[in-house]
Structure 1
Amino acid sequence: MKKIILTLILPLCFQQAFSQARQENFQLMLKDDWKMQSAVTDAASADKISKENYDTQSWYKVSVPTTIIAGLLANKVYDFDPFMGRNLKKLSDPKLDKPWWFRREFTLPAAENGKNVILRLHGINYKANIWLNGVKIADSTQTKGPFRIIQLDVTKHINYTGNNVLALQITRPFTPNKSKGDLAIDYADWIPYPPDYNGGIVNNVEIKTYDKVGVQYPLVTTRFDLPSLAVAHLYVDAQVTNYTNTAQDAVIKGQINSEVSFEQKVHLLPHESKNVDFSPEIYKQLNIKNPRIWWPWQYGKAELNRVELSAVVGAKVSNTLWEKFGIRQMDSKLIDNESREFIVNGKPILIRGAAWSPDIFQRRSPERQEQEVKLVRDMNMNIIRSEGKMEDDSFYDLCDQYGMLVMTGWMCCGVWQHPEHWNAAERKVAMASDSSVMYWLRNKASLMVWLNGSDMPPTDTSVERDYLKIEKTLKWPNPLLSTANETKSKVSGYSGVKMAGPYEWVPPIYWETDATHKFGGTWSFATEISPGPSIPPYESLIKFIPKDSLSTSSPAWLYHCGTGSFGTTKVFDKALANRYGESTSIKNYIAKAQAQNYEAHRAMMEAYGFKKYNTATGVVQWMLANPWPGLIWHTYDYYLYPAGTYFGMKKSMEPLHVMYSYKSNEVAVINSYLKKFGDLQVKATVYNIDGSVKYTKTAPVTIEADASKVVFALPAITGLSPAYFVRLQLTDSRGKLESINWYWLSQKAEVLNWKKSNWYTTPESAYADYTALQQIPKTALKLSHAQEVIKGDSTTHAVTITNTGKSVAFFVHLRALKGKDGDDILPVIFSDNYISLAPGETRVIKCTYSSKDAAGTTPYFLTSAWNIDVVKSKSDQQAAFEEGLPVN
């Protein structure tokens, strides 16, 4: 008789080696050598398919995790790029609505003979009938939901000495409308849905063996005697399970960093699971002096410790596992029912980051994940929000390692948001999913907060109560919120966060002028917010929009926007034309778009830094990246190209940063470190379009730890050109440059029409005028680069750029190519980009990339600016200049 032992966690790791390192007893990750086929194409009976010697020559070979379409793409079934133009529509196939088979054969080592064998399914999307060696061991009423682990005891059906055949008959999720259907992976207005709705195996499948008793899901919780961090009081928990039909006595043994040991006896009834805990009140050795503490990167080192647990029955070790964890304490407090402040190890932290989204076909790789986390870290962000799009252990381990906080929870806009429509079966899936995720994520150092709802609290109050009961029972160690928006929960009260928009273009001054606290200005904690589109560079656009469709009104262009209210870029485009002038070509449009992206995203993050802890406690850009090549809501594009938005973000969140307030005309310094800085100096210089200096001022400043401070205000200046520049510089007592920041400003003010604001934007009644930027006098640049420095698998170049002319070199963009006329080296980290240079100014830009991404070529540096004089500019043999594209 089949037996479901546990319904636990979402995915563990995609890497077999990684999982084996964590689990020292036998664990077989069923990753490769799967076969996949439509049940329409192969209509054989399940008992035949799930037995040895069944002919699968016509089936598709895949690796798990995989969705149906991801498997078909891997097998090159389609002769077109699904991302190009509107090709995604061509993937539609009636067979996707019918069941698909996923089949895998495996054997067990002789040493596992006689042990209890557990099949773990880490993410079935959406439901499955499961067969093993010709026997149906679970049906689709038991096995459904992508955010669960289903554990099946298959001991009675396993073949210890020969081949085993596992066959899953999977049916994709169905969502007939937004509020009813399956509790699956949802997208809302981000992108078109993939036609298989991500049906398939979206996380790991594994076989584990135990000798009677097993221990799993360790949790180490920290409490300090704040404000002191001298002693960490550690509480250790784990789940212990008896996999046999008879009562068992076991000893659970533990170690912290191989230095602190503890153990406890436990008695288990047949097939019983229970929690075992070790408290520092009883186990005095768990009061750790001078602990190695985990900090978010801007506050200190992301130190990780190691916990190891073993289950011993009689004289035998049944299993041993270990996990890394962080000694850290996450807290939060509510300020005036409006703003929630998050606190790490007793220190408040201004949260600034962006929202993660996985690939549209749920394709993942540890390499890609690390590339993206490195980009997030390079932008100086300190949090990633993952709204209902759970990742794997590899992702969270990277966040732990890089000191990156994570906010996650249930998703918006679809079935998850409407528990009032759930039936008993759907509610069971939801609760099992909640307990699964709690077990899985609770020990991650990077996890800061869990949200039980996104765009609103659970509409059925009993659902929120049940969630909270699960989370309390499983000892979730971090703050819990009912929602990502400002709606007051009838169960848990005010969230202290908001989702008041905007999601569409707004000008830089918007963020400081929402005085009513009704919209998306600088107050509270904005869990998702954005000034709208982020237009990729030309080199990326031509990878997914045909060259003959490179128009902002073409069907292909619109298809790669969002959906619903976000199906065009027209609000952004109108602002671009009014502010920068009508575009003369697609390249002219793209160049101007980078400037508009830069200033808008920089202003948003700066405003929250400027008002930190006063009215503002956090902000999350919607989004970090697109699940497919898109035109809206990203900081870098699908191809990992960092453009205007990226560098505006990076500039704004420098840990020690000088900025300009669009509202007050003040110059301020933002310090995001936990240390005071004295003897700093701020210098402001105002330039006209022709390069003449109209004003300059220098002032000393001392700034406290984790603070912002106004240094001085710029006065009214006569004789300014219609558009002009403000250059800000922050140096230390030795003259070392800490921050440099350029603004382009207009004598014509932006005017927002607040009365016509809606949930996603506030329109403008009048626009700033930057059209004069297209008539900046040309200037010459000198470009050279130092010899490359290779360290491990990384290569770094120092590129020196000097403005040898008499006018400001505006928006200088540096690219690193795979040889002359080659593609861009991606991903790439530039220390700065889209910079401006005063007459005679020199800047050194560092360029770093993984050596293999240069594909064996000699890097070639290409530089453009709005007003570059190519003829008079000079460069070495590995560098060149492009004509200034925005000039009409």
Structure 2
Amino acid sequence: MSKTTKFRLLKMLFSLLILFATFNQSSAQDQYELNSGWLCMPSTQVKAKGTEISNATFSLSGWKKAVVPGTVLTTMLENKEVPDPFFGMNNKLIPDIYETGRDYYTYWFTKDFKEAIPGADGQVWLKFRGINYSCDIFLNGKKVNDKPFKGMYLRKTFNITSLLSKSGTNRLAVIVYPPDEVGNPNGGQGGDGTIAKGVAHQYTAGWDWIRPIRDRNTGIWDKVYIERTGGVSLDNPHVVTLVPGKREASGPQQPAIIKVSAELKNTTARPVTGNLVYTMGGQKVTKSVTLKPNSTNEINLPELSFANPKLWWPAGYGKQDLYALKISFLEKGTKLCDSQTVNVGIREIQTAWNVTTKSKEVLVNGQKIFIKGGNWIISDAMLRFTDARYDTEIRYHRDMNLNLIRIWGGALIERPEFYQACDKYGMLVLQDFWMSGDCNGRWEDPMKLEDQWKRRKYPDDHHLFLESATDMIKMVRNHASLAIWCGGNEITPPDDILIPLRDSILPKLDGTRWFIDYSNSDSMSLNTIGGNGDGPYTIQDVSTFWKDRTFPFNSEVGSVGVGDLESLERFIPKANLIAPVYITPEKREAKGPSEKVDSVWDYHNYLGVGYEQHILPYGKPADVADFAKKAQLVNYDQYRGLMEGFSAHMWEWYTGVIIWKTQNPWTSMRGQMYDYYLDPNACLFGLRSGSEPLHAMYNPVDGMLMVVNNGFKGKQNIMLDARVFDMDGKETSLTKVFCFLDPASTKKVMSVKKIVDELSAKKGSFLSLQLLDENKNLLSTNLYWLADSKGGYSGLNELKGSALKMTAKQLKSGQIEVSLSNPANGPVSFFNRVSLVNAQTKKRVLPVFYEDNYFSILPGADKKIIIDYQPEKGASLPMITLTNYVGQEQTIQINP
């Protein structure tokens, strides 16, 4: 068979895949979730068959409560059969599936529910949004799936109308089998690599930021629905928005073009005539159709010219307006059969090649966006997803002044609820498919069971990969936030996956977004000597970010993220709260480690982070609390400096940077702006500062003062006020100068290196940079702590306390305003952490959104901070604590 013939056959196959009936993430007309009342039992303890178990007469006495959506391990944890695997060394106490065999984690799940047999043409559908890894389904004594149901990322819909019980009481029974290949968790990236032989998570066999998930996330891990429709069901609506020209973020707009289609399935044995209709923003579009008996058709509605649209913009560039689009099928134009509602953000994603940087730049609505992103693994390693957690995590990313999240390829196509939060907060999304250079053979690796040639062909079932990709594209393609598709993490899929995905499936199902063949592809960027890559991953001297040119669109750079003491106490036993011990060179064995780390810290991925040379300039840590405090200084400085260094060369060296990584799905110490329990550390606030849309900064290499403007409009008469303070609070003015800033630009103002070095030589100093508008309103503030002439921070060790005056009042339920004042004629009040705490336990309330934190206040200056949180019903008002670098602590009540 010729290559041409093979390719034509592949195209035909994938065209058929595209027509597979699935369901969309949007809200359906009449559906409910089966999310409680489930029971389960290990299959090894059940001798009966599915036809028996799903019969209402079968006794479920002794069956355990199950968590659905959830995994076997979440159910075992809920039933207190295993200890919390995220605490201490507990994960080692849980049997691993590689040792136990798959039967150990093969489970039956049952659910009784009420649903009557519908009248007339009414249909009832059973919908699964995700099962890992394969299953058989039974309802009321009958098998539901007549074909194998395999693959973690496939949604499946079953018409159960004919299987419903006449009594209206129904029993569903599902046996769930673990992945066929569970992988040996031998300590390698993805263990021995064989976990990638399936179409599922790769991280569950372990990585350098997580330990193995013992059941490999086996279970009914995503939502289960019952939906009712008429004789015609409406599936997979698709909304495309086109925004011609270069747009402004506000003001009147030229029309946008709206294209809408949907799949209609006629379940009846007769032709059905009716109208497919949608409404959006007060406008209505209709198309009359006739559907053949027992047929599925994709229907395209007429294009709509949408006048004066409210556009959707990435965070920091404009508002995130969304329209509710309701699409329905009306039999004979009057009888509602089915409908769905899709939230639509009107925007268009474009790309262009920047010849200066030699990299792609991303445009939204015709405006180029400097990408400031974070890498994301998954919200929870055991798949305990909630709308509230998604909302919190995405808001944290927005609050860090980021505008993009990349979903790493060893996890999943993120859930619709994730994308809904990204739509809300303006986070663009770069979505990888399920490949990784580690498991899929990019590099030679002695930890892997099979050689590169064999791993290059993973997964075993390429058809399943493409079928899953087809389905997942349909699930999330309507979200405004989805901006970029990516074939895999640091490697392309095999050609017989890549070519149809790139050339057939994506153009037909989406076709509106940039597709990258792999995450550090040469099509993404080329460095000065050619080729692309990523990193570095270790802590850098801050000057490195300013002077050393890296990849023009760097998809992974960064590393640190250890939390403070209260964060560490949440997952490290008290006996193991021991600070790393730094070994002096004379006592270190040849090529041996420079740090001695507690075994629990090692298990939670501290080892290799390398804080040593960055903490020691602040003085050797006295204990774990002192270590954690000094780590926050490093965290803040590291991520502020990283984003400042990239911003300093915006459009000159770089079009974008994505930090590796900004969150952790378990209690790891590697790369996180907030911990697993959603408590921010200083990384978050340092990054927030360095990523400000309008920001003044100091180049540590040449002492240049610079101002960054990320906005679409220029800025006139912005004053830069630069001052130095010594450790006693004595002030030296460097300059007060008006700046005139072009749109999307970085401006060099002046070098102050000589005078700053002189003022810092003895004990170090504080460098204050402020931006003010014409009315002297403070627009931005940035404070650096600078080392002495020996590279140490000797002055900080002698810094005197400056007790702030502090009050707090409740603005409304869930919102607190804290007012702080630093007396004049004293020192800088340095590195203050505000915490909202429970009034009884004095432990932090989580999650909480702080307008600023780890902040400093100049002598004689005031500051106000807004705190947002979700109050518990019936709970008393929390309290406010404030700690500073010298160890002073205050606790005050909140005025209602």
Give the shorter-chain TM-score range: 0.7 to 0.9
- TM-score with structure 1 setting the length: 0.86
Q: Where in structure 2 are the equivalents of 1:567-716 lying within 5 Å?
A: 568-569=607-608, 571-577=610-616, 579-694=617-732, 696-716=734-754
- In the TM superposition, what is the alpha-carbon distance from 1:671 to its structure 2 partner? 1.8
Counterpart contact for 1:183–1:415, Cα < 8 Å: no
The equivalent position to 1:192 in structure 2, one of 211, 217, 220, is 211
Q: Counterpart of 2:687 in 1: which secondary structure?
A: helix
Deviation at 1:126, TM superposition (A): 0.7
Q: CA deviation at 1:661?
A: 1.6
RMSD over aligned Cα atoms: 3.0
Structure 1 residues 820, 28: CA separation in 2 closer, same or farther (over 3 Å shift)? closer
Query: For 2:628, what is the secondary structure of its paired residue?
Result: helix
- Contact 1:311–1:317 (CA under 8 A) maintained in structure 2: yes
Deviation of 1:797 after TM superposition, in Å, equals 2.1
After superposition, the Cα gap between the structure-2 partners of 1:780 and 1:725, relative to the gap in structure 1 and judged at 3 Å, is closer
Counterpart among 23, 28, 31 of residue 23 in structure 1: 28
Quote the residue 1:542 is aligned against.
569
Residue number in structure 2 paired with 1:556? 600
Change (3 A) 1:385 1:424: closer
Describe the shift of the 1:338–1:264 C-alpha distance in structure 2 as closer, same or farther (beyond 3 A).
farther
CA positional deviation for 1:39: 0.2
- 8 Å contact kept, 2:721–2:736: yes
AA partner of residue 125 (structure 1): N
Where does residue 517 of structure 2 map in the other structure? 482
Tell me, yes or no, if structure 1 residue 394 matches structure 2 residue 417: yes
> 1:707: how far off?
2.2
1:101 maps to 108
Residue ranges of structure 1 left out of the alignment (5+ in a row)? 13-18, 281-285, 516-520, 562-566, 749-767, 880-888
The one-character-per-residue Cα deviations of 1:844-887 (angstroms, maximum 9, x if unpaired) are 3333322329x7344333222223678xxxx78549xxxxxxxx
Q: Deviations over 1:685-736 (max 9, x none)?
A: 1233444345521111121233221222214123532532211111111111
Distance in 1 of aligned mates of 2:289 and 2:24: 30
- Residue among 739, 746, 765 paired with 1:724: 765
* SS of the residue 2:655 aligns to: strand
SS at structure 1 position matched to 2:291: strand
Residue range with higher mean Cα deviation, 464-473 or 592-601: 464-473
Is 1:529 aligned with 2:564?
Answer: no
The secondary structure found in structure 2 opposite 1:788 is: strand
Counterpart of 2:816, as a letter, is T
Q: 1:251 aligned to 2:294?
A: no
Give the 5 Å matches for 1:54-69. Answer: 54-69=58-73
Match of 1:754 in 2: none
- The answer to whether the 8 Å contact 2:54/2:171 transfers is yes
CA separation of 1:837 and 1:318: change in aligned 2, threshold 3 A:
closer
Distance change (3 Å), C-alpha of 1:414 and 1:72? farther
Q: How far did residue 213 of structure 1 move?
A: 2.0
Residues 320-348 of structure 1: CA deviation (Å, up to 9, x unaligned) = 22211111111112234941111101111
Which of 43, 47, 69 is matched with 1:43 structurally?
Answer: 47
Instruction: Judge conservation of contact 1:35–1:61 (CA < 8 Å) in 2.
Output: yes
Are residues 1:76 and 2:80 paired? Answer: yes
Q: 2:489 aligns with which of 435, 454, 461?
A: 454
Per-residue CA deviation, residues 596-628 of structure 1 (Å, 9 max, x unaligned), is 010001111122222222221122222222111
Instruction: Please say if 1:303 is aligned against 2:303.
Output: no
* Distance of 2:389 and 2:101 partners within structure 1: 28
Separation in 1, partners of 2:124, 2:362: 43
Moved more, 687-696 or 652-661: 687-696
Partner of 2:261: 237
SS in 2 for 1:353: strand
Task: Pick which of 205-214 and 640-649 moved more.
Answer: 205-214
- What secondary structure does 1:608 align onto? helix
Give the Cα separation in 1 of the matches to 2:258 and 2:706: 41
Check the 8 A contact 2:718/2:771 in 1, yes or no.
Answer: yes
Measured in 1, the distance between the counterparts of 2:609 and 2:523 equals: 34
Instruction: Identify if the C-alpha distance between structure 1 residues 278 and 876 changes in structure 2 by more than 3 Å, giving closer, same or farther.
Output: closer
Partner residue of 2:155?
149
Deviation for aligned residue 1:482:
1.1
1:381, CA displacement in angstroms?
Answer: 1.7
d(CA) in 2 for partners of 1:213, 1:798: 57
1:431 alignment partner, SS class: helix
Q: Which residue of 2 aligns with 1:510?
A: 544
Aligned-pair identity in percent equals 26
1-side partners of 2:163 and 2:460: how far apart? 28
State the alpha-carbon separation in 1 of the partners of residues 466 and 577 from structure 2. 47
C-alpha distance after superposition, 1:511-533 (max 9, x if no partner) = 12224xxxxx3x42222221x22
Measure, in 1, the Cα distance between the counterparts of 2:745 and 2:708. Answer: 6
1:702–1:488 Cα change, 3 Å: closer
Q: Classify the secondary structure of the residue corresponding to 1:595.
A: helix
SS in 2 for 1:66: coil
Q: In 2 relative to 1, CA 658–461 (structure 1 residues): closer, same or farther, beyond 3 Å? A: farther
For 1:253 and 1:803, locate their aligned partners in 2 and report how far apart those are by CA, in whole Å. Answer: 65
CA shift digits 1:453-489 (9 cap, x unpaired) = 1212224365333443111111342221111113469
How far off is 1:37 after superposition?
1.4
Residue 223 of structure 1 deviates from its aligned partner by 1.9
**1:813 aligned partner:** 833
2:893 matches 1:865: no
Cα distance in structure 1, aligned partners of 2:274 and 2:126? 23
User: What is the CA distance between 1:8 and its match in structure 2?
Assistant: 5.8
Q: Which residue of 1 aligns with 2:804?
A: 782
Query: Do the aligned partners of 2:271 and 2:290 also contact (CA within 8 Å) in 1?
Result: no
AA in 2 matched with 1:814: V
Q: How many residues align?
A: 819
Q: Structure 1's 815 and 770: CA in aligned 2 closer, same or farther, altered over 3 A?
A: farther
For 1:394, what is the secondary structure of its paired residue? helix
In 1, the alpha carbon distance for the partners of 2:613 and 2:861 equals 34
CA contact (8 A) 2:734 2:752 kept: no
Correspondence for 2:57: 53
Go from structure 1 to structure 2 and tell me whether the alpha carbon gap of 1:488 and 1:701 turns closer, same or farther (over 3 Å shift). closer
Taking the aligned partners of 1:626 and 1:606, their CA distance within structure 2 comes to 24
Distance 1:253 1:774, change over 3 A: closer
Q: For 1:243-273, what per-residue CA distance to the aligned partner results, in whole angstroms no more than 9, with x for missing partners?
A: 34555444322222342222232434x5432
TM-score, normalised to structure 2, is: 0.86
Partner of 2:188: none
Distance 1:408 1:203 in 2: 19
Shift of 1:75: 2.5
Secondary structure of 1:465's match? helix
